[in-house]
Structure 1
């Protein structure tokens, strides 16, 4: 008598595949039952409230704001150049590595850290030195230029 070609492992795999097919068919039927086809236009509408959130209820006409067309500004605003005295900032050298040629200054006004390169120094500086400088936009953020050490007893031009 010949042995059956089906093993326990094959039977388990077949059962598993049949179960997966059945689960897939059930999910397909569920999607069909809950599909949005045939909904009315009103059911599919979405609205934006006064705070910019998406809702399914229409906005309240009493909360509507009138906007004057002349008040809408297109493009960037004109930036008037600041006076030279306003551009000069004061700060303290937080870190400076002479061998690598860069460091950081803490701005006294904003408490921001500003990058400084050795090429922008007028004289050598060290950590904890008080300096005056101007800020420019660098590739990776604010960068200090025209960095000068503050001389004790002498105030920088304001």
Structure 2
């Protein structure tokens, strides 16, 4: 007599496939049984409260704020409307290596450190010198340029 062509692995895969099909059919039947026919619109609505959270209760009309539609600015404000920062800043040289040609300046108002390169110098500077400078965007952040000794 010949051996059956059905291996153990094939029969296991077939069992899994049939079980999956049965589970899918059960879930479909449950969904049909639990489906609400003729549900009201009010039951399906979701509201947003004053904090931006989703709730099923309508918001309190006393907390409603009247917003003027013309006061809403869409997009980026024009450059003229933006406040102009003072171009020239003052600070102190915290470190400067003359052999390598770079250093750092600490802004006197914000205490932020800015990189300075010898190509951005107007006057010769050294450590602990008080300087005035302007900022430009560099590859790794803001760089001090047009650096003058005070």
TM-score normalised per structure 1: 0.64
Query: Contact (CA 8 Å) 2:133, 2:148: kept in 1 or not?
Result: no
Which has the higher mean CA deviation after the structures are superposed, 75-84 or 43-52? 75-84
Please show how residues 137-156 of structure 1 align to structure 2 within 5 Å: 137-138=136-137, 141-149=141-149, 156=150
Which has the higher mean CA deviation after the structures are superposed, 61-70 or 5-14? 61-70
CA distance in 1, matches of 2:96, 2:32: 65
Query: Contact (CA 8 Å) 2:121, 2:146: kept in 1 or not?
Result: yes
CA distance in 2, matches of 1:13, 1:106: 70
* Matched residue SS, 1:143: strand
Query: Contact (CA 8 Å) 1:133, 1:144: kept in 2 or not?
Result: no
CA distance in 2, matches of 1:34, 1:130: 79
When the two structures are aligned, how many residues end up with a matched partner? 145
2:73 is the alignment partner of 1:74: yes
* Matched residue SS, 1:145: strand
Residue 7 of structure 2: aligned partner: 7
Please show how residues 75-114 of structure 1 align to structure 2 within 5 Å: 76=77, 78-79=81-82, 81=84, 87-93=88-94, 99=100, 103-114=103-114
Please show how residues 130-141 of structure 1 align to structure 2 within 5 Å: 130-138=129-137, 141=141
How far off is 1:61 after superposition?
1.0
Deviations 1:79-101 (A, max 9, x none): 454566xx3221334576965x6
Q: In structure 2, list runs of 5 or more residues that go unmatched.
A: none
CA distance change for structure 1 residues 31 and 80 in 2, over 3 Å: closer, same or farther? same
How far off is 1:31 after superposition?
4.7
Residue 153 of structure 1: aligned partner: none
Q: In structure 1, list runs of 5 or more residues that go unmatched.
A: 150-155
CA distance change for structure 1 residues 107 and 16 in 2, over 3 Å: closer, same or farther? same
Query: Contact (CA 8 Å) 2:47, 2:59: kept in 1 or not?
Result: yes
CA distance change for structure 1 residues 8 and 117 in 2, over 3 Å: closer, same or farther? same
Query: Contact (CA 8 Å) 1:46, 1:55: kept in 2 or not?
Result: yes
